[in-house]
């Protein structure tokens, strides 16, 4: 067994402002990477700006990261920042800006690196230091080395081959208080999927179970917020964020499994948000998993059984209709990927995969 989690996590209210010294220790100039909107309205950008000012650290901002960021975007960002003597990169937001920040930090460390560099495992994987400030409760990207990028040339999303773990992760539930209910639901289902896929996984071991089971217990406490049966406050936001972080720590060890792999073509073709797309495939995946393993995990997550879980997915997402041809693309993408076919803790054959996708 091995366990590698090199990110220093600060999980507390106002942690960005509290830890300005650590932030400033990374260099004289930062590149802040965000999406267009929420970082500027939920307080996270203001906190980073204040902490950098206090540390006397300069910064420039790239705020053009789209949902499911493309390799074109990260190359453009690195191109803009190339002449600026950037020492470190700060990703603020959901998975999109954080994943983009990792790829940009890698590109900035290796002037002249191109698209191929991101997908060539023989290249030097070192990067500029990365800091992540999550403002959603799903991706866990703040504690993983993974950067998932959209490849328009391949018409899907693909993880960069290099692992770029952030130096610091600042976890503060207050950034969720201005998020929409839909965003919270989508991202919390993504976190749940990370927790389940990391454990029902051929790479799962006691260390993965440690973080995943702790994450599932916290997730269960906030389940009623997702269905609208409970109103979220400071404590709930903080626990949602923490369970997402624990989920990230879990997939950082074992990786994701079939629901994630199946979801990518659905998101690419239909623009269905990541958490919702993954949620479509979770019931089928759980249905195929060994009953004792599945039922124990579902109970930890606050569900009585698989049908209770199916009801929950239907309740939070409504009916999701995915055309047969797109489902076919998901099926083909996984069937032609031997590593993914073997990623679950149980044997998956063609017929089982077909049922997971089409039933
Ligand atoms: Fe995910």
What is the structure's pLDDT at 1?
87
- The predicted-structure confidence for 139-190, as pLDDT tens digits, reads as follows 999 999 999 999 999 888 899 999 999 999 999 999 999 999 999 999 999 9
Q: What DSSP state is assigned to residue 111?
A: T
What is the structure's pLDDT at 290?
96
Nearest to 279 by CA among 246, 315, 326: 315
- Ligand 1 midpoint to CA 129 (Å): 23
- Ligand 1 midpoint to CA 350 (Å): 24
- Ligand 1 midpoint to CA 138 (Å): 7
Place of tokens 């990261």: 65
What is the structure's pLDDT at 148?
93
What is the structure's pLDDT at 295?
97
180-358 classified as CATH 1.20.1090.10: yes
What is the structure's pLDDT at 157?
84
- Ligand 1 midpoint to CA 139 (Å): 5
Statement: residue 359 has pLDDT above 90: no
In this structure, are residues 172 and 13 in contact, taking their beta carbons and an 8 Å threshold? yes
Inter-CA distances, 178 with 135, 234, 267, Å: 10, 11, 25
What is the structure's pLDDT at 197?
98
- The predicted-structure confidence for 274-308, as pLDDT tens digits, reads as follows 999 999 999 999 999 999 999 999 999 999 999 99
* Ramachandran class of 93: left when φ > 0, alpha when ψ lies in -120 to 50, beta otherwise: left
pLDDT, mean of residues 116-135: 98
What is the structure's pLDDT at 109?
98
Report pTM: 0.95
Statement: residue 319 has pLDDT above 90: no
- Ligand 1 midpoint to CA 194 (Å): 6
Residues 337, 347, 121, CA angle at the centre, nearest 5°?
30
At residue 58, the 3 state secondary structure works out as: strand
- The predicted-structure confidence for 37-91, as pLDDT tens digits, reads as follows 889 999 999 999 999 999 999 999 999 999 989 999 999 999 999 999 999 999 9
Question: For domain 8-175, which architecture applies?
Answer: 3-Layer(aba) Sandwich (3.40)
- The predicted-structure confidence for 225-276, as pLDDT tens digits, reads as follows 999 999 999 999 999 999 999 999 999 999 999 999 999 999 989 999 999 9
In this structure, are residues 225 and 236 in contact, taking their beta carbons and an 8 Å threshold? yes
Residues with CB under 5 A from ligand 1 (ion): 190
Beta strands 130-134 and 168-171, pairing class? parallel
- Ligand 1 midpoint to CA 115 (Å): 23
What is the structure's pLDDT at 155?
84
- The predicted-structure confidence for 90-122, as pLDDT tens digits, reads as follows 999 999 999 999 999 999 999 999 999 999 999
pLDDT band of 320, cuts 50, 70, 90: confident
What is the structure's pLDDT at 136?
96
- Ligand 1 midpoint to CA 25 (Å): 31
Domain boundaries, the chain: 8-175, 180-358
């Amino acid at each position: 067994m091995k366990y590698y989690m090199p990110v220093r996590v600060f999980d507390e209210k106002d942690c960005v402002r509290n830890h300005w010294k650590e932030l400033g220790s990374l260099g004289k100039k930062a590149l802040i990477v965000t999406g267009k909107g929420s970082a500027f309205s939920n307080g996270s950008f203001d906190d980073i700006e204040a902490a950098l000012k206090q540390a006397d650290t300069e910064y420039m901002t790239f705020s053009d990261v789209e949902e499911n960021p493309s390799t074109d975007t990260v190359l453009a960002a690195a191109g803009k920042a190339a002449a600026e003597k950037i020492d470190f990169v700060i990703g603020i937001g959901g998975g999109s800006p954080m994943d983009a920040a990792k790829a940009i930090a890698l590109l900035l460390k290796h002037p002249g690196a191109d698209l191929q560099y991101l997908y060539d495992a023989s290249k030097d994987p070192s990067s500029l230091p990365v800091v992540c400030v999550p403002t959603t409760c799903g991706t866990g990207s703040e504690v993983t080395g993974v950067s998932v990028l959209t490849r328009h040339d391949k018409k899907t999303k693909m993880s960069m081959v290099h692992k770029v773990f952030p130096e610091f992760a600042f976890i503060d539930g207050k950034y969720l208080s201005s998020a929409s209910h839909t965003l919270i639901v989508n991202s919390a289902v993504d976190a749940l999927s990370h927790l389940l896929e990391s454990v029902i996984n051929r790479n799962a071991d006691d260390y993965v179970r440690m973080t995943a089971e702790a994450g599932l217990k916290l997730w269960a406490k906030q389940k009623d917020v997702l269905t609208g049966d409970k109103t979220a406050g400071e404590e709930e936001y903080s626990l949602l964020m923490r369970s997402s972080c624990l989920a990230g720590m879990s997939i950082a060890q074992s990786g994701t499994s079939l629901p994630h792999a199946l979801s990518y073509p659905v998101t690419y073709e239909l623009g269905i948000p990541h958490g919702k797309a993954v949620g479509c495939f979770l019931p089928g995946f759980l249905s195929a998993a060994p009953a004792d393993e599945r039922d124990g995990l579902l109970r930890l997550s606050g569900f009585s059984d698989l049908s209770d879980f199916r009801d929950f997915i239907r309740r939070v997402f409504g009916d999701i209709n995915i055309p047969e041809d797109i489902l076919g693309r998901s099926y083909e993408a996984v069937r032609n990927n031997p590593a993914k076919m073997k990623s679950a803790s149980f044997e998956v054959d063609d017929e089982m995969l077909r049922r997971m996708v089409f039933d």
